[in-house]
A = this chain, B = another copy of it.
Amino acid sequence: MAAGIAAELAKKQKEISVAEFFERNKHILGFDSMTKSIITGVKEAVDNALDACEEAEILPEIYVQIDALGDNEYRLVVEDNGPGIMRRQVPNVFGRLLYGSRFHTIRQTRGQQGIGISAVVMYGQLTTGKPAIIRSKVAGEDVAHEFELFLNTKMNRPEKIREEPIVWSGKEHGTRIEVCLKGRVTRGKQSVAEYLRGTAIVNPHATISYKDPFGGTLFFQRSTTIVPPKTREIKPHPHGIELGMLMKMLKSTKARKLSGFLSTEFSSVSAARAKQICEKAGLDPDANPKRLSLEEVKGLLAAFSQTRLRSPDTSCLSPIGARLIKLSLKNVLGDLRPEFYAPPVTRSPKVYSGNPFQVEAGIVYGGDLRSDSPVEILRFANRVPLMYQQGACAITRAIEDIDWRPYGLDQKGGRGIPHGPAIIMVHIASTKIPFTSEAKEAVANVEEITEEVKLALRECARKLRLHLSKEKRRSKVREKFDIAQRLLPEIARKSAEILDRPVPDVTPIMTKVMDVVEVSEKLEYHKKTRTVESVITIRNYRPKSQSIQFYAVIPPEYVGAESLDPPPKRKRKGGRYMWEFKRLPSNESRTIKLLLRGVEPGEYDETEFYVEGVDPLHLLGAEPLPGDWDLDGLDTTLEDFSRGKRPQPPKPPRADEEDGPAGNTTGGRAKAGGGAG
A584 CB to nearest B CB, Å: 52
A398 at the interface (CB under 8 A from B): no
A437 at the interface (CB under 8 A from B): yes
Q: Which of A89-118 contact B (CB under 8 A)?
A: 89, 92-93, 96, 98-103, 105, 113-114
Apart from A25-B435, A28-B437, A437-B438, what 16 extra A-B contacts exist at CB < 8 Å?
A: A1-B56, A2-B139, A3-B139, A5-B83, A9-B52, A9-B83, A9-B101, A13-B93, A14-B99, A15-B98, A21-B103, A28-B436, A28-B438, A126-B244, A153-B248, A437-B437
Q: Do A86 and B6 touch (CB < 8 A)?
A: yes
> A1-36 toward B: CB 8 Å interface, digit per residue (1/0)?
111011101101111111011011101100011000
A141 at the interface (CB under 8 A from B): yes
Q: Do B243 and A12 touch (CB < 8 A)?
A: no
Q: Do A16 and B99 touch (CB < 8 A)?
A: yes
Q: Do B15 and A244 touch (CB < 8 A)?
A: no
A434 at the interface (CB under 8 A from B): yes
A138 at the interface (CB under 8 A from B): yes
Measured between beta carbons, the chain B residues less than 8 angstroms from A93 are: 13
Q: Do A16 and B432 touch (CB < 8 A)?
A: no
Q: Do A3 and B141 touch (CB < 8 A)?
A: yes
A128 at the interface (CB under 8 A from B): yes
Measured between beta carbons, the chain B residues less than 8 angstroms from A140 are: 2-3
> A208-227 toward B: CB 8 Å interface, digit per residue (1/0)?
00000000000000000000
A389 at the interface (CB under 8 A from B): yes
Q: Do A244 and B125 touch (CB < 8 A)?
A: yes
Measured between beta carbons, the chain B residues less than 8 angstroms from A20 are: 103
Known: A21-B98, A98-B16. A139 touches B294 (CB 8 A): no
A55 at the interface (CB under 8 A from B): yes
A608 at the interface (CB under 8 A from B): no
Measured between beta carbons, the chain B residues less than 8 angstroms from A652 are: none
A625 CB to nearest B CB, Å: 41
Q: CA of A28 to CA of B15 in the docked complex: distance in angstroms?
A: 21
Q: CA of A423 to CA of B2 in the docked complex: distance in angstroms?
A: 38
Q: Do A13 and B437 touch (CB < 8 A)?
A: no
A235 CB to nearest B CB, Å: 16
A59 at the interface (CB under 8 A from B): no
A392 at the interface (CB under 8 A from B): yes
Copies of this chain present in the complex amount to 2
Q: Chain B: which residue is nearest A246 at the CB level? A: B129
> A123-140 toward B: CB 8 Å interface, digit per residue (1/0)?
001111110000000111
A660 CB to nearest B CB, Å: 29
> A282-313 toward B: CB 8 Å interface, digit per residue (1/0)?
00000000000010011000000000000000
A613 CB to nearest B CB, Å: 47
A158 CB to nearest B CB, Å: 12
A89 CB to nearest B CB, Å: 5
Known: A14-B99, A434-B32. A294 touches B130 (CB 8 A): yes
Chain B CB count within 10 A is highest, among A96, A105, A242, A438, for: A242
Contact of A27 among B15, B99, B243, B444 (CB under 8 A): B444
A173 at the interface (CB under 8 A from B): yes
A154 CB to nearest B CB, Å: 8
Q: What are 14 A-B pairs at a CB distance below 8 A?
A: A6-B84, A10-B101, A14-B101, A15-B96, A15-B99, A17-B98, A18-B18, A28-B436, A28-B438, A33-B447, A125-B244, A126-B244, A153-B248, A391-B391
Q: Do B2 and A89 touch (CB < 8 A)?
A: no
A442 at the interface (CB under 8 A from B): yes
Q: Chain B: which residue is nearest A102 at the CB level? A: B12
A283 CB to nearest B CB, Å: 16
Q: CA of A101 to CA of B1 in the docked complex: distance in angstroms?
A: 18
Contact of A33 among B15, B173, B445 (CB under 8 A): B445
A646 at the interface (CB under 8 A from B): no
Q: CA of A548 to CA of B187 in the docked complex: distance in angstroms?
A: 56
A278 at the interface (CB under 8 A from B): no
Q: Do B7 and A86 touch (CB < 8 A)?
A: yes
Q: Which of A393-450 contact B (CB under 8 A)?
A: 412, 432, 434-438, 442, 444-447
Q: CA of A172 to CA of B88 in the docked complex: distance in angstroms?
A: 57
A505 CB to nearest B CB, Å: 59
Q: Do A13 and B101 touch (CB < 8 A)?
A: yes
Q: Do B435 and A85 touch (CB < 8 A)?
A: no
Q: Chain B: which residue is nearest A242 at the CB level? A: B126
A204 CB to nearest B CB, Å: 22
A369 at the interface (CB under 8 A from B): no
A466 at the interface (CB under 8 A from B): no
Measured between beta carbons, the chain B residues less than 8 angstroms from A298 are: 129
Contact of A89 among B13, B28, B247, B447 (CB under 8 A): B13
Q: CA of A432 to CA of B628 in the docked complex: distance in angstroms?
A: 61
Known: A28-B436, A83-B5, A100-B13. A243 touches B128 (CB 8 A): yes
A57 at the interface (CB under 8 A from B): yes
Q: Do B83 and A3 touch (CB < 8 A)?
A: yes
Q: Do A88 and B244 touch (CB < 8 A)?
A: no
Known: A101-B13, A126-B244. A85 touches B6 (CB 8 A): yes
Q: Chain B: which residue is nearest A152 at the CB level? A: B248
Contact of A9 among B23, B55, B247 (CB under 8 A): B55
Q: CA of A114 to CA of B57 in the docked complex: distance in angstroms?
A: 42
Known: A32-B446, A127-B244. A173 touches B2 (CB 8 A): yes
Chain B CB count within 10 A is highest, among A88, A297, A412, A445, for: A445
Q: CA of A140 to CA of B103 in the docked complex: distance in angstroms?
A: 48
